[in-house]
Amino acid sequence: RENFIHLHNPHLEKMKEDILYHFALGTGTHDFPALFGDVKFVCVGGSPSRMKAFIAYIAEELGLGGPGCDYPNICVGTDRYAMYKVGPVLSVSHGMGIPSISIMLHELIKLLHHAKCSNITIIRIGTSGGIGLEPGSVVITRQSVDATFKPQFEQVILGKTVIRSTNLDEELAKELMQCSQEMSQFNTVIGNTMCTLDFYEGQGRLDGAICLYSEEEKLQYLKEAYDSG
């Protein structure tokens, strides 16, 4: 059974051409099914260089490339994001912060739709601080929580606040956990991940340009985060 990407936007059907501005791609200039129709896995991460290194690793693992091979940036026409492809795997950078990844996801999902991709798995890979975990542990995210520990994402649309769920694919989490147990190379857990709107104050750091709280208040906040899971 094939599960295709369904877009919740009736306006797209009326457009003669859909331009993915920040990818420098468009349905009028690129053959999306030919370029991306075989994609099954999309891995996204913040840094362009990390995502290029990742696709080189994947190419070698799949026997589709080796040391010294070059992987061109599909989004070379823009400096907003970088995109690389090997076989059924697409590797895309998303920059830092929720706004940056949101823009990327809008255009990525439209790309997969126009390419007529089916049965797609999208995974974000990246680094994070941890609370109560051994350094170097891998966390497979069950839920993403906001800075108030709620599993939700707030978006203001036309002046109104819309709240969306941040529950992730439970079956995928179980599959990844099983893979980790079979490899037995590093400590892996399924848990919750916090995402804030800011790197410094939002995460309670003490080294930003502005910091109007004490170290004791920061530690109390981290304890509350730990207690909430």
Binding site as annotated, residues for substrate? 203, 205
Give φ, ψ of 8 to 5 degrees. -95, 65
Binding site as annotated, residues for phosphate? 80, 124-127
Q: How many CB atoms lie within 10 A of CB 75?
A: 21
State the Cα–Cα distance between residues 196 and 208, nearest whole angstrom: 15
Contact 55, 71 (CB under 8 A): yes
State the Cα–Cα distance between residues 8 and 96, nearest whole angstrom: 26
AA identity, residue 70? D
Q: E strands of 1-136, at which residues?
A: 19-20, 25-26, 41-45, 83-86, 89-93, 121-124
Contact 166, 152 (CB under 8 A): yes
Q: Residue 12 corresponds to which tokens in the numbers above?
A: 């797209």
Contact 218, 204 (CB under 8 A): yes
Binding site as annotated, residues? 80, 124-127, 203, 205
Give φ, ψ of 202 to 5 degrees. -60, -30
Residue 109: closest CA among 28, 32, 204: 32
| Strand 160-165 to 152-157 pairing | antiparallel
